[in-house]
A = this chain, B = another copy of it.
Amino acid sequence: VNYRDRLDIIADILQVADQPARKTQIMYQANLSHSLLQKYLAEIVEADLVSFEVETNSYQLTFKGQEFLQAYKNYSKTNKVTKRYLNNLASKRRLLEEMCSKQATDL
């Protein structure tokens, strides 16, 4: 399982708010409990990543929110590549450790 951290959750919310969206819509599409969504919405409105439009009762991505999403996508890519490097490194390390451990019967 891949648990979402704070940044992942914020990115998921912003993704939904790319089109003006109401709270319930965000809640279901971003798969969050009502209380968690409340907490995050307060934070990201305060950080100016989304704005609340009173007339339509909906949340919408700001320019800064768009920038965040771009930067998040870039970060995600780097994250994937880094994980691949870490796995590769770990297997190379295991090989070295085997080579300098006590010899089993040679094949």
Contacts and interface: CB of A to CB of B under 8 A. Distances in A.
Contact of A43 (B72, B89, B100): B100
Interface string A60-84: 0000100110011011001101100
A101 B47 contact: yes
A4 interface: no
Query: Binding site of A, secondary structure by majority: helix, strand, loop or mixed?
Result: helix
A75 B49 contact: no
Interface of A: 6-7, 10, 43-44, 46-49, 64, 67-68, 71-72, 74-75, 78-79, 81-82, 85-86, 88-89, 92-93, 95-97, 99-103
13 contacts: A7-B100, A10-B100, A44-B100, A47-B101, A47-B103, A68-B96, A71-B95, A71-B99, A74-B92, A78-B89, A78-B92, A81-B85, A85-B85
